[in-house]
Amino acid sequence: MRDLIVDAVTELKTSQHPYRDDHLDTTKVSLEPARSTDPRGAHVLHFDRGHGWLRFTFVHRTAEPQIVIEQIFWQ
């Protein structure tokens, strides 16, 4: 399970934009906003064919952008 999470986070980190799934490998992960009313807020990254997900936010910083994982779930 740990490898699945590491693969999902690596896919997210290497994407061109963490809030769009246009450059993600959709066979491994999918992405959607946690709340449709807040497009810059938390997003959910589904992995392991939908068996797991993690909720994250992206903090824009000039020097060092940061992805903050708030919650991880896998069943």
Pick from 26, 19, 22: nearest CA to 55: 19
Residue 26 is predicted with a pLDDT of: 76
Q: What is the pLDDT of residue 67?
A: 85
Which stretches of the chain drop beneath a pLDDT of 70? 62
- pTM, to two decimals: 0.77
